[in-house]
Chain A
């Protein structure tokens, strides 16, 4: 039952680091993190970064309902667009983030040496945990 969803986000242009507000064709509104349903996994197949130089960091937490869920997240991946342009990362094997309790979540952060506008797109597949 795997289903691919494209999420898009952009830096705010004025902060050198922050959390992407993600939007998508299936989303009403935006989200700053994605909670993974219990018994499912999120597979991040591809990332695209465009615009100004930017680091993209994927963080994962086991309990997004905790008082400070992102206090010590697990950093799952860091990709760097080292100068203005475009970076496309297509994985033969995706990053897999599992939903063991239904409280797991991930978010995507940016870091820049100079604040400027950058855009990202992620291809995320939601699939059964045992598939």
Chain B
């Protein structure tokens, strides 16, 4: 049976492995349920930029947003001022993907693909807010204003509870462009399998699982705290033995 469906989202009962490059650790989840099954498209609309907002220039100085949802020519969202997606009524109305690490939400996981029109816009992500996460040799910082450390048009993420992410956007053309955002997403209810042998085999890629490597090259304390709070540990070292996994599983909260 396929691990993912035609949208690239994990099928119920299958495994999702989210790898954190900064720690060489991964979380292994089993998808129990997909709460929005059949309704995976979220037509969000314009990028939430408002007339008069100030963006950084890719050349010098700053640039003013001329109209709601327009990304001006040669501009980018400054580090620390990336975009969050407001949604009325959401747990956090300023950041629709945020869920708290405690309470009933700890077993929720959003897996989403942000698709931005026009697709030539450069995209990056701050995890958590204000932290650039792309590096070359862990020394040279990348990002939307650099020659590496960005994607164009689409970015795929898993939103961990307790962490605010921000989307960064850059427009390296001379065009002031109207924008559109569509999310393809799944709201999973997940559990961490309690079988150390199973987890070990998933980490060794002997058992099929959908692997997603998160853009986390620098594991801030805020990220570690959120993992501890939501799951009770920071992930399974990908080279861990069954015995080591057994020990870690004793701390698992979900």
| B side interface size, CB within 8 A | 19
Q: A1-B152, A26-B118, A126-B119 are in contact. Are A35 and B66 (CB under 8 A)?
A: no
* B178: Cβ under 8 A from any A Cβ: yes
Chain A residue contacts of B70, Cβ below 8 A: 28
Q: A29-B66, A38-B147 are in contact. Are A126 and B175 (CB under 8 A)?
A: no
Q: A3-B119, A26-B118, A29-B66 are in contact. Are A34 and B153 (CB under 8 A)?
A: no
Shortest B172–chain A CB gap in Å is 5
Interface residues on A, range: 20 to 34
Shortest B179–chain A CB gap in Å is 8
Q: A26-B118, A28-B66, A126-B120 are in contact. Are A37 and B172 (CB under 8 A)?
A: yes
Q: A1-B119, A3-B120, A40-B120 are in contact. Are A27 and B173 (CB under 8 A)?
A: no
Question: Would you call A34 and B175 a contact (CB within 8 A)?
Answer: yes
A52 to B118, CA, bound (A): 33
* A45: Cβ under 8 A from any B Cβ: no
Q: A3-B117, A3-B118, A5-B118 are in contact. Are A27 and B153 (CB under 8 A)?
A: no
Shortest B152–chain A CB gap in Å is 6
Where chain B touches its partner, the secondary structure class is loop
Q: Which of B119, B154, B173 contacts A34 (CB 8 A)?
A: B173
Chain B residue contacts of A126, Cβ below 8 A: 118-120
- B135-182 interface (Cβ within 8 A of A): 147, 152-154, 172-178
Q: A28-B67, A28-B178 are in contact. Are A1 and B154 (CB under 8 A)?
A: yes
Shortest A21–chain B CB gap in Å is 13
A sample of 19 cross-chain residue pairs with beta-carbon separation below 8 angstroms, ordered by A number, consists of A1-B119, A1-B153, A3-B117, A3-B118, A3-B119, A26-B117, A26-B177, A27-B178, A28-B66, A28-B177, A28-B178, A29-B176, A31-B175, A34-B175, A35-B175, A37-B172, A38-B147, A39-B147, A64-B174
Additional pairs, 19, CB under 8 Å, beyond known A25-B178, A26-B118: A1-B119, A1-B153, A1-B154, A2-B119, A3-B117, A3-B120, A27-B176, A28-B70, A28-B178, A34-B173, A34-B175, A35-B172, A35-B173, A35-B174, A35-B175, A38-B147, A40-B152, A64-B174, A128-B152
